[in-house]
Amino acid sequence: MTRYYQKEIETASPEQIREWQNERLLKTLQHVWDNNKYYRKKMIDRGVLVGDVRSVDDLWKLPFLTKDDLREAYPYGLMSAPLSDCVRIQSTSGTTGKRVVAFYTQADVDLWEECCARAIVAAGGTKDDVVQVCYGYGLFTGGPGLNGGSHKVGCLTLPMSSGNTERQLQFMTDLEATILCCTPSYAAYLAESLYEKGMRDQIKLKAGIFGAEAWTEEMRHDIEEKLGIKAYDIYGLTELSGPGVSFECEEQSGMHINEDHFIVETIDPETGRVLPDGERGELVFTSITKQAFPLLRYRTKDIAVLSREKCSCGRTFVKMSKPMGRSDDMLIIKGVNVFPSQIETVLMNKGLTSNYQIVVDRLGTTDSIEVKVEMTPELFSDTINSIEVREREITDALKSMLGIYAKVSIVEPKSIVRSEGKAVRVIDKRKLYG
């Protein structure tokens, strides 16, 4: 039952895709060069002129953009279209520093929504479906993106936004929603609530499109089983448009990147060197169809692997793995890349919201990793045996996530050192030895 939103694009030959990319890259680069002083200066500083880039093969010559650039250029510095052509802004919920604001012309919004429509159709959506969108609406891109995509497919769209679980469940059952769009943790919470209220048999859901946060395969199976659906991953960044930069097909083994809109590269986060497909590295995207806010070689800090293996769904777009972590948090332990976010995901999936700390050490020439977890009421029991069972579960889950053994130590609540109220997540003692 393979279905596509735009068949001729999504299943185009690699040569055709490359042709689109070459043509659109040059057009976008000229557009940015002509209209964006900030990036033009970056190019000149690097000694690259617009004519030096003749095809995708020359992409490496261009300077990177980072979130710091976006902050520095806030708010209008990276605009490439007159403000009068823009119709929309979206913004990221920055926890540190200035927010990042992205601008859209009507054409930009349409292309973004098309990307989301592809994701919905890949998840089995048709105009007969009822799509319940409980991502936040507003500055956050989750709600508006999927909402627009759902309209494009022609689905009845329920613009629920986030929260108010009672009302979510009422609409889900009364209006017989068939596709659920939200964060994976909220999907798990909705599933839980359905069981609690004895409403599990009143739902008509068949699929879910879940993104905007890290989740594991284990969590996917859990949600799929509880809701009786297929759960699809979706990826995107506000800076690049929003959700729909890439999306999963029925194979559920990585997300197809919309390569007619984005050129993807993976780089070594340390050196910036471009890596071959199949090697784990930081994702770098170049938007090639946007007017208002096209970003060239934007470093996402997300670490993932690209695969060009033929997909059974018939789509020819390259697939990216679920991001494994953030490049600036990466630890190398026993030669293996470990991300604190992976550990946090494991703990979260085990229902542990407690404080944790990762201690990396070296004994002789062998690295060791210890994960300290503060005791919580959920983890505690009066019998040592049940605490040990939980401890082993966490150890096993970490092993399967990280690929290496990590010692788990349960410590007293509030015993993990905090600095200015925030827990210190990683202590790398190896640095002490230089």
415 binds, among Zn ion, other proteins, none (CB under 5 to 8 A by kind): other proteins
- 293-332 mask for Zn ion (x: CB under 5 A)? ------------------x-x-x-----------------
Quote the tokens at residue 252: 């559920």
353 near other proteins, rule: CB under 8 A: no
Q: Does 411 bind other proteins (CB under 8 A)?
A: yes
What interhelical angle do 184-196 and 217-227 show, nearest 10?
Answer: 40
Write the burial class of residue 16 (CB in 10 Å: 0-12 exposed, 13-18 middle, 19+ buried): middle
Regarding 417 and contact with other proteins (CB under 8 A), the answer is: no
Q: Which does 7 bind (CB under 5 to 8 A by kind): other proteins, Zn ion, none?
A: none
Q: Scan residues 215-254 and list those touching Zn ion (CB under 5 A).
A: 249, 251
C-alpha–C-alpha distance, residues 242 and 152, integer Å: 16
Residue 331 CB partners (closer than 8 Å, separation 6+): 337, 338, 339, 340, 358, 360, 369, 426, 428
CB-wise, 30 or 386, nearer to other proteins?
386
Please identify, using beta-carbon distances, which residue of 177 and 245 lies nearer to Zn ion. 245
Between CA 77 and CA 78, with CA 105 as vertex, the angle to 5 degrees is 10
Distance CA(376)–CA(92), nearest Å, equals 32
Distance of closest approach, residue 204 Cβ to other proteins, in angstroms: 40
Minimum distance between the CB of residue 384 and other proteins, rounded to whole angstroms? 5
Beta carbon of residue 359, minimum distance to other proteins (angstroms, whole number): 14
Q: Which residues 6+ apart lie within 8 Å of 285 measured at CB?
A: 237, 240, 245, 262, 263, 264, 265, 295, 297, 298, 300
- For the bound state, the minimum distance from the C-beta of residue 351 to other proteins, rounded and expressed in Å, comes to 15
DSSP 5: S
Please report how close the Cβ of residue 431 comes to other proteins at its closest, in angstroms.
26
d(CA 287, CA 39): 14
Rounded-to-integer distance, Cα 426 and Cα 434, Å: 17
Q: For residues 195 and 380, which CB has a smaller minimum distance to other proteins in the complex?
A: 380
How many CA atoms within 13 Å lie on the side-chain side of 200? 15
Nearest distance from C-beta of residue 126 to other proteins, angstroms: 51
- Nearer to Zn ion by C-beta: 24 or 315? 315
Partner interacting with residue 315 (select from Zn ion, other proteins, none; CB below 5-8 Å by kind) = Zn ion
Contact pick of 89, 169, 274, 387 for other proteins (by CB under 8 A): 387
Strand 86-91 relative to strand 319-320, pairing: unpaired
Among residue numbers 356 through 385, which ones bind other proteins (CB under 8 A)?
A: 375-377, 380-385
Residues within the interface to Zn ion (CB under 5 A): 249, 251, 311, 313, 315
Residues within the interface to other proteins (CB under 8 A): 375-377, 380-385, 387-388, 409-415
